[in-house]
Chains A and B, each alone.
Chain A
Amino acid sequence: MLLAWYLLVAIMITGYVVLDGFDLGAGILHLFIARTDEERQMVIRTIGPVWDGNEVWLLAGGGTLYFAFPLLYASGFSGFYLPLMIVLWLLILRGIGVELRMHLDSPVWRGLFDGSFAFASLLLALFFGAALGNVLRGVPLGKDEYFFLPLWTNWRVGPEPGILDWYTVLSGAVALCALGLHGAYYVALKTSGDINARAKQAARRLWPTVVALTGASLAATLYIRPDLLDNYKRLPVLYVIPAVVAAALFNMWRADAKGHERAAFLSSCAYLIFMLVGAAAGVYPNLLTSTTDPALNITVYNAHSGSYALSTGLIWWTLGMAIAVGYFVFVYRMFRGKVTTTSRHGY
């Protein structure tokens, strides 16, 4: 059952990255691929009706983590206090950037909202990547299972880590480029004309970077945490995961070259999913690794809630998420197809 909850938390986080990932990606590219007011409006309209629902995955994922593994939630959230607060501010800026732009028909206001949308999306992607990097690298958990990390120390992976060091910055860069690429394929899928062309051009430029960074981060991860391969050695079938990641990367490029927009976007989804699955498979059963003493690791075995909560939780959680997925299918069908330019603006 602990494995089940580990998987559910992983599914929620993966769902968030894949879904809100393209919102963030669209934000990262916003200022580069959309030049005029109409074009920027088009980009916003590709994510307009769905971004809020996508963000709910983060909330529901955080809640699921709190419910199933309260020790991890408490230790991790307080230890990553400063970056999480910055993430909260950025989420606010992103939300108002997306939503309020069309309320005001003024180039200055719109510039402000466009800027806040792009700036927040870019930094959010960086921070989410760095957060994952921190989890993979480990943190200096104390005897009471708590820690507190400054934003940076000496930028080295050592006994006194900060949130940002060369390794986590590399993770942030992977996330930034991968989500940018994800967003480019999404925008291409949802638009036509100039924006579609520019999105594809951005994707073609980003793709080699993503390939290079993926390889570099894999090497760096195995360099600082060779033990992440233990699960893979024990269960060699897991090596399918990196193979799928490579295949997805290859297929993105192939599908894009052939003009298959949907296949390129879906390959990008697969890439993100299997990158995270690969990390989750390596980390298990640890949730947060201690850099000081492996005995202090927070694992699924010492962090979980009571068995009554978890067993009844499986019932209502599955039911609730099944309904929620139903809404998503319904909404995405309702707003399917490419956005068009003929639309009223504001009110």
Chain B
Amino acid sequence: MDDALMMHRLHFAFTITFHYLFPQLTMGLAPLIVLLKTMYLRTNNHLYNRAARFWAKVFGISFLMGVVTGIPMEFQFGTNWARFARLTGGVIGQPLVMEGVFSFFLESAFLGLFLFGEKRLSKIGHWWAGFAVFMGSWLSGFFIVVTDAWMQHPVAFQRGADGSFQVTSFWGLLLNPWALIQYSHNMCGALITGTFVMAAVGAYYLLEDKFIEEGRAFLRVAVTVGVIACIVQIFPTGDLHGKMVGVYQPVALAAMEGLFKTQTGAPMVILGQPDAESERIDNPMMANKVLSYLLYGKTTATVKGLNEFPKEDWPTNIPLVFYTYHVMAGLGTIFVAVMAVSAFLLWRGVLYKSRWMLWIILCCLPFPHIANTAGWITAETGRQPWIVYGLMRTAVGYSKDVHAGNSLFTLIGFMGLYTILAILFLFLVYRVIAHGPLEETGAEVDSGTPITIA
């Protein structure tokens, strides 16, 4: 792989990975905040309003980080991936503009109102402002998934004489079956991040013996929603997603499972290290016939291995695809267990007193972020060596007039700047959590306050 290609890939990989730490939290928290506001409307209990206000602060800081790190993503299609952009603008330009026009304007307009409009708006009006922010963030996620889904599974296009891709059906592109499955799996993943963060803060308060009432409310809401999200993440969304990869990207699936040779009654590798050079798994720990069953519902079904495909079509980094997939799937399984036990204890009325369980919930805090990131790395490195699956190789997509040195220069710049952003984010969110959900008179509404100050 030549240097410039590697640099441009790292450039996008680094900036998108960092960026997506924030949207997954905002998209996960948004529906929970709307839920808290709904509970407040129905019960008139100020506890829920206080909780909503507290999470709105965390949401605001995360939203800001998502905004400032999101702009470089759109730019990079042109700056670093010019040859790709030139051929695909007629297709994926559409969801990218739609994101700006239909969701960013909505979000930016209503976030300020949601954070500061509480006094000026009626209770119902304030609920609607929160709902608009939720809609904006979830719509934005949809348009981005549509963009990625088209690269994974191109539909609704024709090629022009110059090789360019042109959309042939507006709805065909938006309702790409790949996009619908990927979107449900992805949004469920974001919801898991939101619920685990909320539950962990609740557990932290109970363990510290402060903000007891709020901590319990956080746990109650987060565990109830979280247990559903964790199950739906595996079945049906994860199951459907895996089967879809098996049908349309069998070589990616073989890499995810570390299946070098076609097998009847294929085992599922639970742990091991793929050795792409000698084409085997080192130190394997396997569950016999499970992979065949999961994919085709039969223990005797044949699963295609990497050996069925020409080597130039193999994902360029098989161990990475394998590891990230296993990290995602392994963590997803653990999340079900954690949430199921928590939900059981909650139902029995002992969760708040079970300190061991609160500790486990607290320690789970970073893992949904890791699982979501790993899942995306699986999807995108599994797609390699294609930038448009089966039609355009990544190696012919980058800007060839932007040399490796220039790309490295700006990559280093982003690394430095994002390190500062990460420190600021952790510091500010820590302050919000330490400060706690106090009874406040709500932010005063006035003719101007920056959007994230609440």
Please name the residue on chain A nearest to B85 by beta carbon.
A74
Docked pose: A328 CA to B90 CA in angstroms: 28
Q: Tell which of B80, B91, B93, B431 has the most Cβ of chain A within 10 Å.
A: B93
Q: In whole angstroms, what is the CA distance A343 to B97 when docked?
A: 37
Given A59-B74, A60-B100, A344-B443, A98 and B401 contact (CB-CB distance below 8 Å) = no
What residue in chain A is nearest B418 (Cβ atoms)? A92
CB of B282 within 8 Å of the partner chain: no
Q: Do most interface residues of chain B lie in helix, strand or loop, or is the interface mixed? A: helix
The verdict on B448 contacting chain A, using a C-beta distance below 8 Å, is: yes
How does the 8 Å CB contact mask read for A33-56 relative to B, with 1 for contact and 0 for none? 000000000001111111111011
What is the minimal beta-carbon distance from A317 to any residue of chain B, in angstroms? 7
Given contacts A73-B89, A77-B79, A347-B57, contact A313 B101 (CB under 8 A): no
Of the candidate stretches A62-70, A157-165, A233-241, A251-259, the one touching chain B is A62-70
> Known: A99-B64, A312-B170, A336-B447. Is A78-B105 also a contact (CB below 8 A)?
no
User: Which of B94, B96, B109 has a CB less than 8 Å from the CB of A331?
Assistant: B109
Stretch from A170-178, A203-211, A277-285, A302-310 forming part of the interface with B: A302-310
Q: Is the CB of A306 within 8 A of B166?
A: yes
Whether A347 lies near B67 (C-beta < 8 A) is no
Contacts of B94 in A (CB 8 A): 67, 309, 313
| Interface segment, one of A267-275, A289-297, A319-327 | A319-327
Interface centre among A58, A63, A84, A334 (most CB of B within 10 A): A63
A304 nearest CB neighbor, chain B only: B90
> B349 at the A/B interface (Cβ < 8 Å)?
no
Q: A78-B402, A347-B440 are in contact. Are A56 and B446 (CB under 8 A)?
A: no
Q: B444 is contacted by which of A62, A88, A92, A343 (Cβ under 8 Å)?
A: A343
The answer to whether A308 touches B421 (Cβ under 8 A) is no
Interface centre among A69, A317, A344 (most CB of B within 10 A): A344
Q: Do B447 and A102 have beta carbons less than 8 Å apart?
A: no
Contacts A306-B160, A331-B113 given; does A59 touch B100 at CB 8 Å: yes
Interface string of A208-232 (1 = CB under 8 A from B): 0000000000000000000000000
Chain A residues near B104: list those with CB within 8 A: 56, 59-60
Give min CB distance, B95 to chain A, whole Å.
9
7 nearest A-B residue pairs (beta carbon) = A70-B89, A77-B78, A67-B93, A306-B166, A60-B100, A320-B101, A305-B90
26 A-B interface contacts by CB (under 8 A): A45-B450, A51-B450, A53-B108, A60-B97, A63-B99, A63-B100, A68-B89, A70-B86, A73-B78, A77-B82, A78-B79, A78-B402, A92-B71, A146-B399, A148-B403, A305-B166, A306-B164, A309-B94, A327-B110, A331-B112, A334-B117, A335-B447, A336-B447, A339-B448, A344-B444, A347-B454
